Amino acid sequence: MPSLEQFCTVSGDLGMNVIGQTPNGMRIDFPFTGTATSSHWDGERPVSGVDYVTVRADGNMELDIHGVIGEKREKVAYAAIGVSIANPDGSADPKELIRFHTANEDLAWLNDEIAVAFGHGAAGKISLEIFLIRP
C-alpha cells in the first residue's frame, strides 16, 4: 500500500489577475510568493509562481500550477495539476499532483518523484503541505 512522506510546507501570498469568461469557464491567474520549509534543507527557501485557474460551472476550480522553490543553483521547478474546492465562506481547499525538475545535485532525486499537496487558501493567503508518494 503506498504511503505519504512529508516533503515541505509552503506558506505564501496570492495575487489575482482576472482574465475573464472563456469557453471552458472563468479564467483567473493567481501569482504567488512565499516560503518553503523542509527537513531536506536548512531554513526557509523562497517560493514563487502562478496558478492558472479555470472556475468550473460547479464553482470549483481546475488548477494548472507552475512554480519554483529556492534560488540560484538550489532552484527546484515544479508543475502541478489539481482541483480546488470552493467553500461557502470564500476560502478554497486545493488538492494537487506535483512533478519536480531540478539541476541541483543535492535534490536531483526529486526529478524521479511524484508528490501530492493539500492546502487551504483564504483572504489572499495560501498554505500547502506537500507529500512525496512512497511505494
Q: Which domain covers residue 107, as residue numbers? A: 3-134
* Mean pLDDT within 21-45: 97
Structural domain tally of the chain?
1
Q: What is the pLDDT of residues 36-68, one digit of tens each?
A: 999 999 999 999 999 999 999 999 999 999 999
Residue 90 grid coordinates: 470564500
pLDDT value for 55: 97
Residue 103's pLDDT is 97
Residue 36 in contact with residue 45, Cβ under 8 Å?
Answer: yes
Q: What is residue 115's predicted lDDT score, i.e. its pLDDT?
A: 98
Do the beta carbons of residue 31 and residue 15 sit within 8 Å?
yes
Integer Cα distance of 135 and 3 in angstroms: 6
- CATH code for the domain in which residue 15 is found: 2.40.160.20
Task: Tell me what the pLDDT averaged over the chain comes to.
Answer: 97
Q: For 103-135, write each residue's pLDDT tens digit.
A: 999 999 999 999 999 999 999 999 999 999 999
pLDDT of residue 39: 96
